[in-house]
Amino acid sequence: MRVFVEGIGLIGPGLNGWQASRALLAGDAAYIETPTVVIASDLLPAAERRRTGLPVKLALAAGREAFAHAGRDAAATATVFTSSSGDGENLNHICTTLASPERDISPTRFHNSVHNAPAGYWSIATRSRAPSTSLCCHDASFAAGLLDAAAQVVVDGKPVALITYDQPYSEPLHAVRALPGSFGMALVLAAQASDRAVATFDVSYVTEAASPTRMPDAALERIRASVPAARSLPLLAALGCAGPTIILLAYGDQHLQVEVKPWRVS
């Protein structure tokens, strides 16, 4: 499946936006791991903004940058949201409350616990009525999202935005599912070449296991290996290469092969 990359958004530990991070991912500048900086999005009305958790903020920040980069209308573009963990902090709070004598859960916490909550807030923020899918596939959540988004682009012939995000769990969940940092990434994908496109992805689904592509930098590799949404880092790094690059993404006991062909400065 061939898709054209039009927009990229990125937020993560030491990764403050796609443009600021390109040289780090390409190995042309030193990477320094610092905590992810996320602020509430002004795309939402104040009342909604106060209710949002970190996953929503990650999704909105990455999605907003990708659409600004692509120059497309977010309200008219279908979306695929994917996360391995959802709102881990909110989940921990709900579980703690249910295990206490006072078991009343606030409506706000309850509706933020739903896996497609970021998609709902996105539709409010962008006034979008376009189709949206929310996925979870454990460590392969990014690969599953990319496969779904690419299939939609190829079958429907319309652009699709892929937005992936993860945040750490609080203890005691962190002890059994340790995610070292918050990470969000977004891609705007299209079916046809245009002056917006910066690269092509040729995505193939392969029914056999393969070792995933790793990051040369040890700190970035630790993030890639530990945060499912950060499995996208090798793809982003490949966008800074001069020629075609083959990236392998683990998908359970299968994998995706993605040939990345950058074709203009992004």
Q: Which residue has the higher pLDDT, 91 or 259?
A: 259
Q: Would you place residue 265 in the very low, low, confident or very high pLDDT band (cuts 50, 70, 90)? A: low
d(CA 2, CA 230): 22
Helix and strand tally (H, E) in the chain?
Answer: 10, 9
d(CA 87, CA 64): 20
Nearest to 111 by CA among 173, 48, 171: 48
DSSP state of 229: G
Instruction: Give the helix/strand (H/E) hosting 64.
Output: helix 54-70
Domains of the chain: 2-197 (3.40.47.10)
Q: Would you place residue 192 in the very low, low, confident or very high pLDDT band (cuts 50, 70, 90)? A: very high
Q: What is the pLDDT of residues 143-185, one digit of tens each?
A: 999 999 999 999 999 999 999 999 999 888 899 999 999 999 9
Q: Quote the pLDDT of residue 41.
A: 81
Which amino acid does the sequence have at 249? L
Which residues on adjacent β-strands are paired with residue 11?
16, 184
Q: Are 190 and 153 in contact (CB under 8 A)?
A: yes
Q: What is the mean pLDDT of the chain?
A: 93
Please state the rounded mean pLDDT for residues 20-47.
89
Token pair 């970035």 is found at: 220
Give me the count of residues in the chain. 266
d(CA 74, CA 70): 10
pTM of the model: 0.95
Percentage with pLDDT > 70 across the chain: 99
Q: Quote the pLDDT of residue 264.
A: 63
d(CA 253, CA 266): 33
